[in-house]
Amino acid sequence: MPKQKDKKKRVGFLANIKPGALSQELGIPEEQNIPVTLLTKIKNAKPGTRIKNPTAKGHSSIQVTATTKKRASLALQLKQWKK
**Percent of the chain having pLDDT more than 90?**
35
Is residue 13, in this structure, part of any structural domain at all? Answer: no
Is residue 64, in this structure, part of any structural domain at all? Answer: yes
Cα 1 from chain centroid? 36
pLDDT per residue as tens digits for the range 48-58: 999 988 777 77
Quote the pTM value: 0.75
Domain ranges, residue 47:
34-83
Number of domains, the chain: 1
Is residue 22, in this structure, part of any structural domain at all? Answer: no
pLDDT reported for residue 1: 47
Mean pLDDT of the chain: 81
Is residue 75, in this structure, part of any structural domain at all? Answer: yes
Is residue 67, in this structure, part of any structural domain at all? Answer: yes
Q: 68 versus 2: which is more confidently predicted? A: 68
3-state secondary structure the chain: CCCHHHHHCCCHHHHHCCCCHHHHHHCCCCCCCCCHHHHHHHHHCCCCCEEECCCCCCCCEEECCHHHHHHHHHHHHHHHHHC
Is residue 55, in this structure, part of any structural domain at all? Answer: yes
Is residue 14, in this structure, part of any structural domain at all? Answer: no
Phi and psi at residue 41, to the nearest 5°: -65, -40
Q: 11 versus 38: which is more confidently predicted? A: 38
